[in-house]
Amino acid sequence: MFFHILLGLFFVSCFSTIRGLDQKRYRVLDMDTKGNIYLYKTALLCKNEIIKRLTNGKYHLAEENLIGLSKASPVLNCKDLKQKVPTLVSGVYWIDPDGGSHGNAFQAYCDQQTDGGGWTLVWSYTFTAYSSFNSGANAVTPRPTWKVSSANTRVSTTVPLSETHYEAMNFALWRTIGKETLIKSNINNWIACKEGTGSIVQQKVGSITCKLVKQVSKKCAAVPTSVKIYGEGMSLNGGSHYYYFDSYTSRGWPTHDPCGKNQLNQLKGVANPHGNIFVR
C-alpha cells in the first residue's frame, strides 16, 4: 500500500502550466513499503521545488483524507476507486457500497491489476480435504450466506482482506457491488463472467458469458457457460462442473476442472490451495 504525501502550498511557478489540476491539493509523491519514492508525471516540472520544500519541512501529511484510505473518505467499491484513482495498486481500501453516511463503511481488498482492475474481493476459500480431492470429505470452506439445503462447512460474514484470508462478505452485499465476477484459484483457471439469464451475485440459474483471464492449468482452456444451483452450493458449468462450490463434507466434492468435465483436472500438489471470487 502506498503512503501518499500532498504538498499544501500551490507552486505557482511550475504547476501553473499544467491544466486540470486542483489549485489547492494535488498528488505529488508516492512511497511504497520498501521506501521507493515515485514522482507523479504531472509534478516533474516541479522537481527542484518539491525537493526544496521537503528539505525545509514545508509539507503536510494528508493520508487520512485521501480517497479510499480512511473511513471518512470511502469509495463505493473497487471499481469506483479504480476510476477515481487509477494509479493505486491492489490492496485494502475503505468502501461504502450504499453510498450513504460513512458509518457503515468497511475495509475490503481490491484487485486493481487483473483484467483492468476494479475488482472487490468478496470470498476467499480453501478446502477441507484437498489431498483426497474427490472424496465426500472434501468441500470448500468457509461458505457465504447463500441459500443451500445441505451444507455444513463454516458460514462466514467477515470481509476477506486478502486472497488467503479465508472469509466471505455477507452475500447480500455482493449484488450491491456489481454484476461481473472474477474467479481466481491456484488450482484452476481464472475466469471473468458477465450475467446473462443466470447470475452469480443473485444466485440465479441460467446462462453466463465468461472469458479466460489466466490459464493456470495446461490441460484445458474451456470456460463455463451457465450457473446451476445444488443443495450443497453453486456451480459454474460448461459441459459439466467447471467450478462447483460444494460445501458439504458428507457427499459430493468441490470440482475445479479447467476442462468443465467434472473430473480431476485441477492442479495437484499445490501448497496452500485456495480460490477467490471478486465482484465488479
Residues 276 and 168 sit within 8 Å (Cβ to Cβ): no
Query: Tens digit of pLDDT for each residue in 243-255?
Result: 999 999 999 999 9
Instruction: Give the three cell numbers for residue 280.
Output: 465488479
Q: Which amino acid is at 88?
A: L
pLDDT tens digits for range 193-205? 999 999 999 999 9
CA–CA gap between residue 66 and residue 78 (Å, rounded) = 15
pLDDT category at 279 given cuts 50, 70, 90 is: very high
Four-residue CA torsion sign, 206, 211, 215, 221? positive
Instruction: Report residue 107 as a C-alpha cell.
Output: 475495509
219 touches 212 (CB < 8 A):
no
Distance separating alpha carbons of residues 199 and 61, to the nearest angstrom: 44
**pTM of the predicted structure, to 2 decimals:** 0.78
Tell me the backbone φ, ψ of residue 49, rounded to 5 degrees.
-65, -40
What whole-number distance in Å separates Cα of residue 15 and Cα of residue 7? 12
DSSP helix/strand/coil, 101 = coil
Cell of 176: 450491491
Name the band, by pLDDT with cuts 50, 70 and 90, for residue 4.
very low
* 183/191 Cα distance (integer angstroms): 5
In tens, the pLDDT along 140-187 reads 999 999 999 999 999 999 999 999 999 999 999 999 999 999 999 999
Give SS3 for 82: helix
Which residue shows C-alpha cell 484510505?
69
For residues 273 and 166, the answer to whether their CB atoms sit within 8 Å is no
Residue with cell 449484488: 175
Q: What is the pLDDT of residues 58-97, one digit of tens each?
A: 765 545 448 999 999 999 999 999 999 999 999 999 999 9
Cα maximum dimension of the chain: 72
Distance in angstroms (rounded) separating the CA atoms of residues 157 and 169: 5
